[in-house]
């Protein structure tokens, strides 16, 4: 259950409200119902008229941050910066957490202090595992341009992963303090860039197969962090990533 604020928070769950309030309610219901002993808070970043504030009476302690005019990525960063938990999770609003998902992730991170990021297994509504694990891209590696991002691979057990494109990223607070938030200069590659910066600083990333969440709208492509950009924007972000990869 959600704990009083005078108790140290294990976790801050952050999400960016989409247009479908039903999706957001589904996420919140599963967070509050499945957290178990995990002391948590939830922050919803709202960039449009989603109606998220109307849910406050149903979910004690819910914080809705109105961020009119911000991009979804900027809103996600704002929510992450507000978080007070030992761990901070950025979760797509259309995910529904399965029992013990949060507790399994927190326990894994507590047992592995060298892991800075973790993602659960994402399944669709038919129970099929989504391919969310990625290797750092090698295509066009000579130019340093990690484009296009290939389809992820299926992973049948918990394992280290270069990066995950899953709609659920659990981040250790010390990691955020060290490498910072998502880089708006690499907006279309925000997830890849974050994991790459973490790896450069010696942090590991892990895919936790036993922790599960259901993707309620599997045809949707995580618009909080990924968009379908024009090629000039994509190339610009690739060059931003190139500078970091070659020059730190």
Ranking 15-19, 37-41, 78-82, 118-122 by mean pLDDT, the lowest is 15-19
Residue 88 located in a structural domain: yes
Question: What pLDDT band is residue 143 in, cutting at 50, 70 and 90?
Answer: very low
SS3 of residue 7 by DSSP: coil
Q: 165-194: per-residue pLDDT in tens?
A: 889 999 999 999 999 999 988 877 889 889
DSSP string, 130-156: P--EEPPP-TTTTTT---SPPPPB---
196's enclosing H/E stretch is: helix 190-200
Rounded distance between C-alpha atoms, residue 193 and residue 89, angstroms = 17
Contacts of 200 (CB under 8 A, 6+ apart): 248
Structural domain contains residue 158: yes
Residue 241 in any domain: the answer is yes
- Does the pTM surpass 0.75? The reply is yes
pLDDT at 80 over 80: yes
Is residue 41 one of the residues assigned to a domain? yes
User: Is 1 contained in some domain?
Assistant: no
Cis ω for the linkage preceding 142 (within 30 of 0): no
CA dihedral (204, 42, 126, 72) in degrees, to 10, reads -80
pLDDT tens, 194-227?
999 999 999 999 999 999 999 987 655 444 444 4
Closest CA to 166 of 202, 207, 137: 207
Establish if 3 belongs to a structural domain. Answer: no
- Total number of domains in the chain: 1
Burial of 197 (0-12, 13-18, 19+ CB in 10 A): buried
CATH number at residue 58: 3.90.550.10
Model confidence at 154, pLDDT cuts 50, 70, 90, reads confident
Residues 179, 151, 186, 89, CA torsion sign: negative
Q: Which domain holds residue 116?
A: 11-247
Half-sphere exposure of 74 (CA within 13 A, CB side): 8
């Amino acid at each position: 259950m959600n704990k009083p604020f005078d108790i140290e928070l294990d976790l801050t769950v952050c999400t960016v409200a989409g247009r479908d309030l039903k999706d957001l309610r589904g996420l919140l219901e599963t967070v509050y119902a499945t957290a178990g002993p995990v002391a948590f808070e939830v922050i919803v970043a709202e960039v449009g008229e989603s109606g998220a504030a109307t849910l406050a009476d149903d979910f004690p302690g819910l914080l809705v941050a109105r961020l009119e005019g911000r991009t979804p990525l900027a809103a996600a960063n704002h929510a992450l910066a507000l978080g007070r938990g030992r761990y901070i999770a950025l979760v797509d609003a259309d995910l529904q957490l399965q029992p013990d998902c949060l507790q399994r992730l927190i326990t894994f991170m507590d047992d592995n202090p060298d892991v800075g990021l973790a993602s659960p297994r994402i399944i669709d509504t038919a129970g099929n595992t989504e391919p969310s694990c990625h290797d750092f891209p090698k295509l066009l590696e000579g130019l340093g341009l990690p484009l296009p991002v290939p389809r992820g691979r299926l992973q049948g057990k918990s394992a280290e992963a270069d990066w995950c494109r899953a709609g659920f990223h659990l981040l250790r607070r010390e990691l955020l303090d060290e490498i910072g938030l998502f880089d708006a200069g690499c907006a279309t590659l925000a997830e890849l860039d974050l994991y790459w910066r973490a790896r450069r600083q010696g942090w590991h990333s892990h895919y936790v197969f036993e922790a599960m969440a259901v993707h309620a709208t599997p045809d949707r492509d995580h618009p909080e962090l990924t968009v379908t950009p024009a090629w000039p924007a994509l190339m610009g972000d690739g060059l931003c990533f190139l500078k970091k990869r070659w020059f730190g």
